[in-house]
Each structure stands twice: as C-alpha cells, then as structure tokens.
Amino acid sequence: MDNTKVIEGEVLPHLPTGRITSEALRRADVVNAFATAFQMIGGVPRLALWADENPTEFIKLYARMLPSAASDEMNRVGEIRIIHALAPPGYDPHNGR
C-alpha cells in the first residue's frame, strides 16, 4: 500500500508504517515536518485567527515558549535592586512624604 499523500497539490513524502525508530525520525526531521504542516494549514494568519478566538489558550502556549526570566536571575551573582513603580500609600511628591 502506498502511503504517499497529496494535500493542496503538494506531494508529501512517503509516510513510515509500523514501528518508527530513532534513525527514521531525527529531531530535525520532526521540526521540519511541523514547520511544513504549520504552513500548509494556514501559517501565522490562521494562528492569529485561532489566538483571537482562544486568547487564554494562546497565552498559555506563548508563556510556555518564553524563557524563564526567574531561572536566569537565580544564576546571577551581585546586587539586586528593586525599584518601586508606584509610590507608597499617602506619599505626597510635593513635600517628599
């Protein structure tokens, strides 16, 4: 049985059947396959439409993709300075209290 597929006029490579070994799929192959599939289903414009309809889920995914700033800060040595963005309650900037 031929497992070759055609989507929107584009012939996809032969799909493996049975047990898939590490030699059959390297990480780079998987990343490339996802990038190709992403473009084939609409790419960034479709992602933006989905994000607009599902903002909470989009933010969850986006947050998981960002590097952790907290872990970067934990590995640094030196002074940590905290600058308050809001004045304390009752603070009067005209007399400094």
pLDDT tens per residue across span 27-50: 888 888 899 999 999 999 999 999
Higher-confidence residue of 63 and 7: namely 63
Contact at 8 Å (CB) between 8 and 41? no
Side-chain half-sphere exposure of 85, counting CA atoms within 13 A? 0
pLDDT tens per residue across span 7-34: 666 666 655 566 666 666 788 888 888 9
Q: Which of the 8 DSSP states describes residue 85?
A: S
